[in-house]
Amino acid sequence: MAKKSKKMQEALKKVESTKVYPVAEAIALAKETNIAKFDATVEVAYRLNVDPKKADQQIRGAVVLPNGTGKTQSVLVFAKGEKAKEAEAAGADYVGDADMVQKIQGGWFDFDVVVATPDMMAEVGKLGRVLGPKGLMPNPKTGTVTMDVTKAVNEVKAGKVTYRVDKAGNIHVPIGKVSFDDAKLVENFNTINDVLLKAKPSAAKGQYIKNISVTTTFGPGIHVDQASF
């Protein structure tokens, strides 16, 4: 087992491992125990009582955080003709069709989000093996396969985040940066929480949310009291 650094040991002393903290207190403590020298990301992690192997218990989607993520994401749009012009006007960083497919097949990945019009998905499908594992494949559920490319690009630039339950029933979502005001992080947290509560599958039985924790890039996890919101 790797030895913890002195900074991490000091940070852990400030966190009671058996305690669940109110949302605002958990976020303040996450910022206080951040040990990164850069403006670290604040992330919330959910452990859900769902079976991701079952199609009716898959949870996936996207939401625009009211205060953004603190990160400017570059957007690649697969579109042709007027839709390509629309994407460029909306502020997409890269726009193309078959030429972009070839570029990516050649190893280019200087983008964070991929948007595509429905008519381009036959071309984009050729990239499934390279985009899929990176979580970059456009999907209607996350609003990245759409004819409204202006809305899609604007939402990404405004702080849109995607969420998807993993094989173990967990969801990890960034809610901002350590430099954010606590109130803004709390508001972003509440937005994510509301969306996930509404996404509860009807097939899920028992306690839906097992636990929630807040952490920073290299900081300790802090358990959140579900009764506090």
For residues 59-85, average pLDDT: 94
On the question of pLDDT at 212 being above 90, the answer is yes
CATH number for the domain running over 75-139: 3.40.50.790
For the whole model, what pTM was predicted? Answer: 0.84
First to last CA, the chain: 36
Confidence at residue 1, expressed as pLDDT on a 0 to 100 scale: 45
User: Distance (Å, rounded) from C-alpha 110 to C-alpha 179?
Assistant: 26
Question: Can you give the residue ranges of every domain in the chain?
Answer: 17-68+160-224, 75-139
Query: DSSP letters of 14-71?
Result: TS-TT--B-HHHHHHHHHHT---SS-PEEEEEEEES--TTSGGG--EEEEE-TT--S-
Confidence at residue 2, expressed as pLDDT on a 0 to 100 scale: 52
Confidence at residue 95, expressed as pLDDT on a 0 to 100 scale: 97
Sheet with 75-78, strands from edge to edge, namely: 94-96, 75-78, 113-116
Length of the chain: 229
Over residues 167-188, the pLDDT tens digits come to 999 999 999 999 999 999 999 9
Average pLDDT value over all residues in the chain: 92
CATH 3.40.50.620 at 17-68+160-224, yes or no: no
The residue type of 118 is P
User: Distance (Å, rounded) from C-alpha 184 to C-alpha 186?
Assistant: 5
Over residues 123-160, the pLDDT tens digits come to 999 999 999 998 899 999 899 999 999 999 999 999 99
